Amino acid sequence: MHKYEKIWITLGTSALALFLIILGISAVHGGHTPAASGIETINPEHVRDDARFKEPGLVKSKSSDHDYDLYFVASAFMYEPGEVEIPVGSTVKVHVTSPDVVHGFQVVGTNINMMAEPGLISTYEMTFDETGEHLILCNEYCGVGHADMTSKLIIVDGGKEND
């Protein structure tokens, strides 16, 4: 190998090594972790011990910023509950978690598209202004039964004035 080639290879390798060392030190020193604000965690081994996810479904909200809380458990090729009726005009905060693996949670025809990750509770708030049905799909491959993993939101008449 020629003398100049050895110099350039040495300089290039040294620069790359220095860059990776600086990057690693700054990541560890800066304490880089996911943003903590608004992230709610849950022990994935005890999802069913949590009152909210023991019997998942639609619950009248105790806060004033939305009408309902909707709890879903995504696990082993199924969503629980399998079907939910929501009164038209309701503002719903959807909460999703998983006790086993990463699942997707997409409500077709809406902007709801979340990841259901073990140890985290994903949340999205939405107002349903029109009656109809929305299919819920798992858009993250989760195993052999992935294609059968669906649920349904049914937006029905009988909105807030009947609550």
Give the DSSP letter of residue 128. Answer: E
pLDDT of residue 49: 93
Sign of CA dihedral 15, 20, 21, 22: positive
The predicted model gives 70-78 an average pLDDT of 94
Q: Evaluate if pTM is beyond 0.75.
A: no
Q: How buried is 108 (Cβ within 10 angstroms: 0-12 exposed, 13-18 middle, 19+ buried)?
A: middle
Q: How confident is the model at residue 33 (pLDDT cuts 50, 70, 90)?
A: low
Question: Which carries the bigger pLDDT value, residue 65 or residue 131?
Answer: 131
